Structure 1
Amino acid sequence: MNFEGNQKKFLNLKSLGFQVLKGAESTGKTTIAMHRVVKLANNYCLYMDEKIAVISNGEKSCKEAMNIYSEAKERVGESFYSLFSTDEERVRVLDLNSLINIYSKAYEKSFKMELKIASEDEKMELLKPLILEKIEGNKKNKLLVNNNEKFVLKEIEWIKACNFNKEEYFVVERKGRTKRLNKNSITRNIIFDLMLEYSLKLNNLGLKDEYDDVIFALKQTKRVKDKFTHIVMDNLETLTKAEIDFVKRLYENKDYSSFIFIINNNECDRENIWLKKGRKISTLNTESKLKSIVLKNQFKKEKIQISSMETYEFHDLKHKRIVTFVKDSASVEKEILVQEDDTSYIYEENELIDIPMYNDIAAGEPILISSEQESIFNLPSNWFKGSKETFILHVKGDSMKNANINDGDLVVIKKQSTALHNEIVAADIEGSATLKRLNLKSKIPYLMPENPKYFPISLEDKEASILGVAIGIIKNKN
């Protein structure tokens, strides 16, 4: 698909980690995010058990997201050769409220709790005697003695909606609150203690408030190992901090993971949402720096065009040349258009060879490599004269970046069990595979990284073997 401006920029982001996609209605946020999901599923789910969650609010929003994803997958998903194609669907579109309910009910069941939602009268009836107890020891506290029970209840609910511990509550900026409470004050300390006592007594009486379900769901995440490698979280501007924290707990933060926040510019009048006017997205305390892209242009569906052309660069390590080639993966016929030195040439199917591709190899610490062939990549046979047995591995990590081998690249390996000094090799070290430069200068052979933040790997007293020598690098330029 062809998108415009920041739409295209976000779709083709090379960086992963935490990202923000922000814009007004009809700027194509969900559409672009779903196309991004297809790319993530095809390129950044390295293992069979890795999954992607698209989390939205309400059945209608989930159906819309699922329809957009299905269309995107149909248009884009088959438009290139994927190393990670699988018959099992990796992507799950989930309703946030339903998800919280599942986790909350599981938590209640494990502790044999049967709780019903308390009415406003029941909450106040429970809270008033607790406040009176606090007044006995704090008679000079104006907030407690001046009949501020409703404010105290609202403050307690805000603390729960934000999933604060005491240290966080003591120092947080209380955006949008009706009364001023000084940071690290006695009043904040009293209210936080009241929150703990109120919540415990509420549950002991077989009751809960509307914020307990999220608190229970958060606790249940510690008991469940099911995580998502990538998460897209829609309508962030409508959520409480506790709800956002819950979804973040479902995230498995790997080197190649991503977490996409989608934010609409329109105001939300829901009580206790986190991103009130004036509160920055950085207050979400993500593990890495947020990459933010704002969409301003209206999304015009009539401008969308389906494109199945994929452009690659082949870096020939033996002859030190770079060749650009294009595949039309929507075509029934296998053809490759090669562009080199201002000339173009089409290689037809009988001029191509099928090169098996395997799951992944580490350009970093050694990782287990799957022996199961994942896919086939076609390249011109005359590029590999004298290299009868070749295979392709997907690179994970950045330890070889100074040799122009980056995370996500495909490396063509000539299968052989020996290698010369200074050649880049795929090596098996006691069942794990890695891509490094071979150093044979000293008595002890080493596998050398091309990134100063990694250490050489000594092969002394290790069961190690050469799988092959790197002869080419394939870079996806889309």
Structure 2
Amino acid sequence: MKLNVEQRKIVELEPTGHMSVKGVAGSGKTSVAIRRLAFLQEHYCFEPDDKILLVTYNKTLLNFIQHQFKQLEEEAEYTSFLREHEADITITTIDKLMFHYFKKRSARLNVTLKPLTNRRQLLKILNQAIFEMKDGFQDVSILSPKYQNFLHDEIQWMKACDINDVEVYQDIDRISRATGSKGMPQKLTKNSDTRAAIFSLKNHYDTLMVDHGFVDFPSLNLMALREVEEHQPEHFTHIIIDESQDLTKVQLMFISRVQNDKPHHSIMFVADNTQSIYNLSWLGKGRPYTTIGYDMSGRSRTLSKNYRTTTEISKAAYGLIEHDEAIMGNVDFVKPALIDRHGHAPIYRYFKNHTTHLAFLKDEINQLMGDYHYKDICIVAKEKRFLEDIEQYLSAEGVPVHQLKVQTPDFDKDAVKCLTMHSIKGLEFKVVILVDLDEGVIPNFKYTDIGDEETVKTEERKLFYVGMTRANDLLYMTSVKQPSALLKEINLEHLRMYRDQKVRPYRTIQMMNYRLTDQVADLNSKEEKVRQWIINELIGRYNYPELLLELEYPVQQFSKQGYVDVAVNIHHNGVEKPYIFIETKALGSGIQEGLNQLKSYLGTNSDVKYGVVTDGLELVVIDPRGEKVSDIPSCQPQFYPEKENHYVYHNFRQDKYYDVLENKEDEELMNIVDQVTLLTLKEPLIKVPIVGDVAAGLPISAIEYYSDTCRLPASFLIRSSETFALTVKGDSMINAGIDPGDTVIVHRQATAETGDIVIAVIDDEATMKRYNSMGSQVILQSENHAYEPILMDSADVLINGKVIGVLKGK
């Protein structure tokens, strides 16, 4: 667990009472909590009775925290011999901690109550209470089994908030209690017979629960709270609450009761309200800390950088929540800041049936084995029933897979993990596959019986967001039959159909936006919908202009005339020739027939280099031999009928721009023209080696080996022997006129001045940033407001060169 500067500052803060740490998913909140635990034990537990508590909500996360802390202890085991006092450390869940005091309370009251979690049994007892009470509230229509789910949730909420007085309930505001449908009143009116009836129902329901020998968890928590309020509990000097946004008010009050008041005591709330996925949570609904007795003015720290996921995954996940007013308007919302770490865009696949879905999972996991271990992959579903079917199928197909057990998880077992969205919270995996993102599954309105759809949507959107942000490198998302409406909220620009392809998932193109309609016989055909989609992808993703596309391209198969759905033409030696043949089929109709047809068409024309077949749900690219190719080739400048390739060179040393005109037939013929004077430079051209891309990592020795070059005038360079070029990957320098795909010219040097654009090597990986020196530290600044600056110690940064120019369009 290597921490950055801002994380380490939080870990090493002197304890001064209460504080909060707000952070986005992947910002290292849990790592900070674990390190803080060790720091407090080492430096601020100097009295024999000092104790530390780290409490969390999620059981799976608890085991992960214990696993990580054990490793941390093993790394620093030798220091324990130097401590005068070894502080007791308790790492537990809030449920387990409160259950301990519930048992004490039960023994003190001499009662035996069994915790009941089965919703069906709970509703059965609730309906009994409704039946026995309805005669006393005949004018209250809400007191009916028809509204059992609402009534149950309302009773749970009252107990989770420790509302035990009818006058308090009559006057309290209800957050996110939208009503007004299915014959319900517009809202739960204050000081009304309706509220009086619900409160009386709560009391009678609790009585029936005790009569049956049961207790639900909100009542269990209340008994634990009463125990620590009335009797001396075990006290802790330092308390860290991970996932504090998920705890109820009663749980938070309980924790405050087990805190001692020593001068060096501390309590730290670690939270991300965007990941608040439980409807009884208190702080997660945007309530201030003052409601539980803490004023956080000047006591909050923020972690806004997501180090877990790539920029591509972060953008897609943020797109899911950015239009939700309830999330964005939360007082503790933290907007994620992008870091310069790029990878594959999230992959989305839709399937018409479960059979093809399961087959895809098996095939994709097997393909991933070239780059990952089984244990690096986690399949995540909203509900456990989907995981059971997948686990059974994959096991039968020879893929090692198991559902991670909450009580005894085995993180190191080399098998594909299966977890629900709730259980994966707080964990991370290199590859995450979110499955069965279907309508009726997420969001699920099954228990939403009073028109509270928007509230449920927000909670489910958060849950979806949690699942997306668990992925380090790769994120897959799948739907079967009917996709979730939440998927439509993610910008398609951020999604792909396949890992190594640029093509975006299928979407319907409106007929008014159809292209090349003068070549279309039937605008209303099902096949035309798919053809217009792939035409849109060819233009939008692969940069082919309409002038190179031709529909119904004729091919001759012996005596039979055939027509290719789409032909992509290119110009070569002044002649227009077909380059790619594309066959399209109706959406979801399958591609096998089209693939056979495509192979026969490829055999009729030796100029065609690639074939594509798609039905909108699958897309296969092949070469003339029928072998699969990873992706459709992008359009190149030489495909146009023009005679010259046109590039632009920006000379940073003189801040001048030049047009670079390269003859397509002979690259040795090149003219470089000053854009201001329009004069052509007359001087020898020097070959500069292109040694790779700037985001891939650049050892110093790498410039001795290269496979491509660009040519520039000697006057553009400082010393040709110390010059190399890199292809730009990523968009962190776009405001400096350096775009993805550009070629930057670099002078190799080990020093830099403030304001220089440099190639900096950090942990053996190269990044391009603007350099700023601050004493013993440096700031590596992006030229894109979406990225945060990087603050590093000078000793940790190796300068590999200074950017002296950029060649655009190469």
Superposition TM-score, scaled by structure 1 size: 0.54
Secondary structure in 1 matching 2:84: coil
Q: Letter of the aligned partner of 1:219 in structure 2?
A: R
5 Å-filtered alignment, 1:374-389, equals none
Shift of 1:108: 1.9
Q: Which of 207, 211, 229 in structure 1 is aligned with 2:218?
A: 211
> Contact 2:52 / 2:89 at 8 angstroms: preserved in 1?
yes
Judged with a 3 Å threshold, the aligned counterparts in structure 2 of structure 1 residues 209 and 2 are, in CA distance, closer, same or farther, namely closer
What are the Cα deviations for residues 54-110 of structure 1, in whole angstroms up to 9, with x where unaligned? 11234542233234434555667978998xx33534222112222222222222233
What is the one-letter code of the residue matched to 1:92? T
Q: Is 2:253 aligned against 1:245? A: yes
* Alignment of 1:49 onto 2:57: no
Secondary structure in 2 aligned to 1:92?
strand
Q: Aligned residue for 1:104?
A: 102
C-alpha change, 1:293 and 1:79, in structure 2 (3 Å) is: farther
- C-alpha separation between the residues in 2 aligned to 1:133 and 1:171? 25
Deviation, 1:148, is: 4.4
Which of 129, 141, 152 lines up with 1:127 in the alignment?
Answer: 129
Identity %: 24
Offset from partner CA, 1:315-365 (integer Å, 9 cap, x none): xxxxxxxxxxxxxxxxxxxxxxxxxxxxxxxxxxxxxxxxxxxxxxxxxxx
Aligned to 1:192: 199
Partners of 1:146 and 1:207 in 2: how far apart? 21
Q: Distance in 2 between matches of 1:43 and 1:74?
A: 18
Going from structure 1 to structure 2, the CA distance change for 1:4 and 1:150 (only over 3 Å counts) comes to closer
SS at match of 1:211: helix
Partner of 2:35: 35
Paired amino acid for 1:236: S
Do 1:51 and 1:229's aligned partners in 2 also have CA atoms closer than 8 Å? yes
Q: Which residue of structure 1 aligns with residue 238 of structure 2?
A: 230
Q: How far did 1:154 drift?
A: 2.4
Q: Is the 8 A contact 2:243 2:272 kept in 1?
A: yes
3-state SS of the aligned residue for 2:111?
Answer: coil
Inter-CA distance 104–146: structure 2 relative to 1 (3 Å threshold): closer
- Mapping of residues 156-175 of structure 1, within 5 Å: 156-166=155-165, 168-175=168-175
Aligned mates of 1:5, 1:238 — CA distance in 2: 28
User: Which residues of structure 2 form unaligned runs of 5+?
Assistant: 180-186, 309-810
Could you tell me how far apart the structure 2 residues matched to 1:107 and 1:146 are? Answer: 33
CA separation in 1, counterparts of 2:57 and 2:144?
A: 41
Q: Which amino acid in 2 is paired with 1:120?
A: L
Distance 1:170 1:48 in 2: 48
In structure 2, do the counterparts of structure 1 residues 73 and 120 end up closer, same or farther at CA, with 3 Å as the change threshold?
Answer: closer
Spell out the pairing of 1:77-476 with structure 2 (5 A cutoff): 85-116=83-114, 117=116, 119-135=121-137, 139=139, 141=140, 143-144=142-143, 148-166=147-165, 168-179=168-179, 180-221=187-228, 222-277=230-285, 279-282=286-289, 284-289=291-296, 291-299=299-307
1:125 and 1:145 mapped to 2: Cα distance? 8
User: What is the alpha-carbon distance in structure 2 between the residues aligned to residue 134 and residue 96 of structure 1?
Assistant: 38
Q: Aligned partners of 1:228, 1:195: CA distance in 2, in Å? A: 34
**Alignment partners' CA distance in 2, 1:273 and 1:53:** 21
How far apart are 1:225 and its partner, in Å? 2.6
- Indicate how the Cα distance of structure 1 residues 10 and 172 shifts in structure 2: closer, same or farther if over 3 A, else same: farther
What is the Cα deviation at residue 234 of structure 1? 1.0
Report the 3-state secondary structure (helix = DSSP H, G, I; strand = E; otherwise coil) of the residue aligned with 2:19: strand
Q: Which residue of 2 aligns with 1:20?
A: 20
Contact 1:127–1:153 (CA under 8 A) maintained in structure 2: no
Q: Structure 1's 294 and 131: CA in aligned 2 closer, same or farther, altered over 3 A?
A: farther
State the Cα distance separating 1:161 from its structure 2 match. Answer: 1.9
Compared CA separation, residues 238 and 145, structure 1 to 2 (3 A):
closer
Displacement of 1:284: 4.1
Supply the distance in 1 between the matched residues of 2:122 and 2:63 (Cα, whole angstroms). 34
Residues in 2 aligned to 1:280 and 1:227: alpha-carbon distance in whole angstroms: 26
- Equivalents in 2 of 1:163, 1:45: separation in Å? 33
Does the 8 Å contact 1:161/1:240 carry over to 2? yes
* SS of equivalent residue, structure 1 residue 30: helix
Give the Å deviation of 1:145.
Answer: 8.0
SS for the counterpart of 1:246 is helix
Determine if contact 2:45/2:85 at 8 Å carries over to the other structure. no
Query: Residue deviations 1:218-263, cap 9 Å, x none?
Result: 1222334311111111112222222222222222233321111111
Paired residue type of 1:107: R
1:132 deviates by 1.8
Specify whether residues 154 and 2 from structure 1 end up closer, same or farther in structure 2 by C-alpha distance, changes over 3 A only: closer
- The CA deviation at 1:293 is 1.2
Over 3 Å counting, the alpha-carbon distance change for 1:285 and 1:270 in structure 2 is closer
Q: Which residue identity lines up with residue 154 of structure 1 in the other structure?
A: D
Judged with a 3 Å threshold, the aligned counterparts in structure 2 of structure 1 residues 58 and 185 are, in CA distance, closer, same or farther, namely: same
Q: Is the 8 A contact 2:273 2:284 kept in 1?
A: no
SS state of the match for residue 207, structure 2? helix
- Which one has the largest radius of gyration? 2
Letter in structure 1 aligned against 2:293: T
Q: CA RMSD in A?
A: 3.4
The amino acid of 2:93's aligned partner reads D
Give the TM-score of the pair, scaled to structure 2.
0.33
Q: Give deviations 1:174-232, integer Å, cap 9, x for gaps.
A: 21224422445554344334323331332133222232221222122233431111111
User: 1:17–1:87: structure 2 CA closer, same or farther, 3 Å change rule?
Assistant: closer
- Which residue type is aligned with residue 86 of structure 2? E
Whether the 8 Å contact between 2:54 and 2:92 is mirrored in structure 1 is yes
- Bigger relative contact order (CA 8 A; separation at least 6): 1
CA change 1:2–1:65 in 2 (3 A) is: closer
* Rounded Cα–Cα distance in structure 2 between residues aligned with 1:284 and 1:81: 43
> What code does the residue aligned with 1:102 have?
H
Aligned match of 2:718: none
CA distance in 1, matches of 2:19, 2:147: 41
